[in-house]
């Protein structure tokens, strides 16, 4: 039996995780749930699992949640950063599913690691911002970090039974998003509705926009470099529109191993929860005859400059990835609010990165300070 805390239980990853866990009550017990503002769904999850604690974003949502629960429910309702820390470090928990979106996931993950909880990681920003600190802490506390992202899960699966010293390269694949074939001169007219219409995957709005700009793939390059201990030179990106090959590992003898499946996060989530076993999810196999062929192409850095910005941040290191991530989060939210056009996203990120004085060996406080600095200045004119 694994005893779980789900941070981000009402998001796309969290809902899929809850669905899997519900089918295996003999294997998983949910002891803590955390969400931000989706309190109606959180209330349903509390009624289903009866966890020890549940966490919301602030005092107002916590009070609203309490009003939605019958008096017979003994779940303690907490909120804010202190509540997240409590959910991440609860004594009865041994595994934490980190499914929150954005920089808010960093501190709870570090808290969980220091409390010796194993991590199923979907919050890529944790490793983007502070990959060295996180991985060092995981080694120090003998904690495993298993990836939930489909690409990193694919790499992890392709590494099983092989020596990491034999890896020559990993190849991250991506669909290319909704604008893969859109001419550069039309990017200025991209609407919010077009950007959130992903051709293959069903995800939250922020991640969907990151996929449309290819920033998501840049974040994944940084995440992979820390997760698998590889240099940026050993990581490449390929556009694979069919989204069936989730990523590949190339070995020094010329062998290439790929992990395939339909574009559905359940497989990656379940593998992180049940490793080294595989749960019977009854997932359909890809219809290879109907698909017919797989195609690949290199990403166009001119049309998708966010990918290059992420690679530059990874190459420089220090606090620059945290600044890049914070500026991206702020710009994406502004685009979602219809405050800036689509192509302003990379412009604002680039400008913020150019203004930052990088600290090369940052502490956690340095990283958090850089994150807050970027959120203050991302929209300022030069």
Name which of 224, 240, 243 is nearest 232 in CA terms: 224
Which residue ranges in the chain fall short of pLDDT 50?
none
Q: Where are the domains of the chain?
A: 2-147
The pLDDT, as a whole number, for residue 200 is 63
The CATH topology of domain 2-147 is Rossmann fold (3.40.50)
- Whether 242 and 143 have beta carbons less than 8 Å apart is answered as no
The pLDDT, as a whole number, for residue 37 is 86
The pLDDT, as a whole number, for residue 103 is 87
The pLDDT, as a whole number, for residue 380 is 78
The pLDDT, as a whole number, for residue 382 is 60
């Amino acid at each position: 039996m694994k005893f779980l805390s789900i941070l981000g239980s009402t998001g796309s990853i969290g809902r899929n995780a809850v669905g899997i866990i519900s089918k295996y009550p003999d294997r998983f017990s949910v002891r803590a749930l955390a969400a931000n503002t989706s309190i109606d769904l959180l209330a349903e999850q509390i009624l289903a699992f009866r966890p020890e604690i549940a966490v919301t974003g602030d005092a107002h949502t916590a009070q609203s949640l309490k009003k939605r629960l019958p008096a017979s429910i003994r779940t303690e309702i907490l909120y804010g950063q202190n509540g997240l820390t409590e959910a991440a470090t609860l004594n009865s928990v041994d595994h934490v599913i980190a499914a929150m979106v954005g920089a808010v996931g960093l501190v709870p993950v570090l808290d969980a690691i220091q409390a010796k909880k194993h991590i199923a990681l979907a919050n890529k920003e944790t490793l983007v911002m502070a990959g060295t600190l996180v991985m060092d802490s995981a080694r120090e506390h003998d904690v495993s970090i298993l990836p939930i992202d489909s690409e990193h899960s694919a790499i992890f699966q392709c590494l099983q039974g092989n020596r990491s010293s034999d890896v020559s390269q990993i190849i991250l694949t991506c669909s290319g998003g909704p604008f893969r074939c859109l001419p550069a001169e039309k990017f200025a007219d991209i609407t919010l509705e077009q950007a959130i219409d992903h051709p293959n995957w069903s995800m939250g709005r922020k991640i969907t926009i990151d996929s449309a700009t290819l920033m998501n793939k840049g974040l994944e390059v940084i995440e992979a470099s820390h997760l698998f201990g590889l240099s940026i030179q050993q990581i490449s990106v390929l556009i694979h529109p069919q989204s069936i090959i989730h990523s590949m590992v190339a070995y020094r003898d010329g062998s290439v191993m790929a992990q395939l499946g339909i574009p559905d996060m359940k497989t990656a989530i379940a593998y992180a929860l049940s490793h080294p076993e595989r749960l019977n999810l009854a997932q359909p196999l890809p219809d290879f005859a109907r698909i017919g062929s797989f195609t690949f192409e290199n990403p166009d850095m001119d049309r998708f400059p966010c990918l290059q910005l992420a690679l530059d941040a990874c190459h420089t290191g220090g606090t620059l990835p945290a600044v890049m991530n914070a500026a991206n989060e702020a710009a994406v939210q502004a685009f979602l609010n219809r405050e800036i056009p689509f192509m302003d996203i990379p412009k604002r990120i680039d400008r913020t990165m150019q203004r930052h004085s990088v600290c090369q060996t940052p502490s956690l406080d340095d990283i958090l300070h850089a994150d807050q600095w970027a959120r203050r200045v991302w929209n300022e004119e030069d």
